[in-house]
Amino acid sequence: MLVQNDKRCTMNIVWIVVAIIIFTILPNFISGYYIRILTAIFMYAVLSQCINLMSGYMGYLPFGHVMFFGIGAYMTAILMRGNLPFIVAMLLASLSAIVVSIILGFPVLRLRGHYFAIATIGMNGALMTVVQNIDITGGARGTTFPIIMLPPGQVYSYFYYAFLALMIITTFAIYFIVNSRFGFAIRSIKANEDAANSMGINTTNTKVVTWAIAALFTSIAGGLYGYWMSFIAPDEVFDLMFITNSIIMMLIGGAGTILGPVIGAFIVETVSEFAWSGFMEYHLAVLGIITIIIVFFVPGGVIGTITEKIRDRKIAASIKSEVAANDR
């Protein structure tokens, strides 16, 4: 899986570079409407990738993870009103998200399974209520970002490239994390937390650090989203639908695979934009049914199913060659 398959590895790198180049030059050929859709896809890919790290790789589904999205958006807005440039405000905001994730992580990551998921929802709700009721965030009316000083066309491509870069960075970062020594600890926790602990893995620290990494990328996405929308309200950036969508994308693309969330984001966003825009809210029901079907019949998602096929073929070939060697 790591370096055994040099040829396939090189091919993958070639495909990824080609895809990156295509998406880099694409805005020159398409209209603002498509640029906006692609930007949303990239943003969802980032969120889905963070959910994938937590749930797909570590087995902890952080349903209320959108709280870091909200923290990122609000902290960026507040700091930018304090006349900080966007990049600085965004980085400080993500730092605060990391601090929050560590403080909350130590108590809440002791919970397992559904209890953890529900606890994070509660925390998200609590945080949203706080944001709705204090002055510095503008209360329930929401808050605005400073106007971006660019012509409208460039604003579109500004956020297109920002989210594209964030998606690429997030995906590569998570790829290197899960294939490192630390990644084996993350995957062991999903597989069997007690066994992981008895093998010398500090499970508590591993879980908290992983959550902090997920919070980092989510909060950057939140800051960018807020600046993109230029106006944010509490019930918008703390909306659990962001996470619900991200989970569906992860499941369709393939949980616990590195490209799954990206593929899933493309599939779900494209389909909901073009096929279901006429049906309004019905598409939520359809998404729900699709999710159930996937969990029951194709639990690996798109990428997971493909890699499973490849591995099965490899093992079958090795058994075949062994049998042939014995016959001789």
Partner 1 sequence: MIDNNNVILDVRAISRHFGALKAVDRVSFQVRKGEIIGLIGPNGAGKTTITNLVTGDLKKNAGEVHYKGTDVSSMQPFQIARIGLTRTYQIVKPLQGMTVEENVLVGSLYGRGNRINDLSNARKTVHDVMELVGLYKKKDFMVSDVTLPDLKRMEFARVLAMDPEVVFLDEVMAGLNPSEVEESMELVKKVREDRQLTIVYIEHIMKAVMGISDRIIVLHHGKKICEGSPQEVRDNPAVIEAYLGKKYAKEVMKANE
Q: Which residues bind partner 1 (CB under 8 A)?
A: 2, 180-181, 184-185, 187-188, 190-192, 194-203, 256, 311, 314-315, 318, 322
Task: Give min distance, CB of 301 to partner 1, in A.
Answer: 14
Written as one letter, the residue type at 34 is Y
- Unique residue bearing structure tokens 């709700």: 125
Question: In angstroms, what is the minimal distance from the CB of 286 to partner 1?
Answer: 29
Closer of 36 and 190 to partner 1 (Cβ)? 190
Shortest gap between Cβ of 192 and partner 1 (angstroms)? 5
By beta-carbon proximity to partner 1, the closer residue of 192 and 230 is 192
Name the residue nearer to partner 1 (CB basis): 167 or 196: 196
Contact 267, 219 (CB under 8 A): no
Distance CA 61, CA 51 (A): 7
Residue 39 or 188: which CB sits closer to partner 1?
188
If the CB atoms of residues 133 and 321 are measured against partner 1, the closer one turns out to be: 321
Residue 247 C-beta: closest distance to partner 1, Å: 18
Comparison of 109 and 185: residue with beta carbon closer to partner 1 = 185
State which residue, 57 or 116, has the beta carbon closest to partner 1.
Answer: 57
CA distance 143 to 233: 6
Taking the complex as a whole, the smallest distance from the CB of residue 220 to partner 1 amounts, in Å, to 29
Q: Tell me if 194 sits within 8 A of 84, measured CB to CB.
A: no
Shortest separation between residue 326's beta carbon and partner 1, angstroms? 12
Token pair listed for 238: 């703390």
Smallest separation, CB 144 to partner 1 (Å): 46
Report the nearest approach of partner 1 to the CB of residue 198 (Å).
5
Q: Of 44, 308, 55, 305, which is closest to residue 166 (Cα–Cα)?
A: 44
CA distances from 146 to 78, 151, 183, 214, 230 (A): 10, 15, 40, 27, 7
The residue among 72 and 256 lying less far from partner 1, judged by its C-beta, is: 256
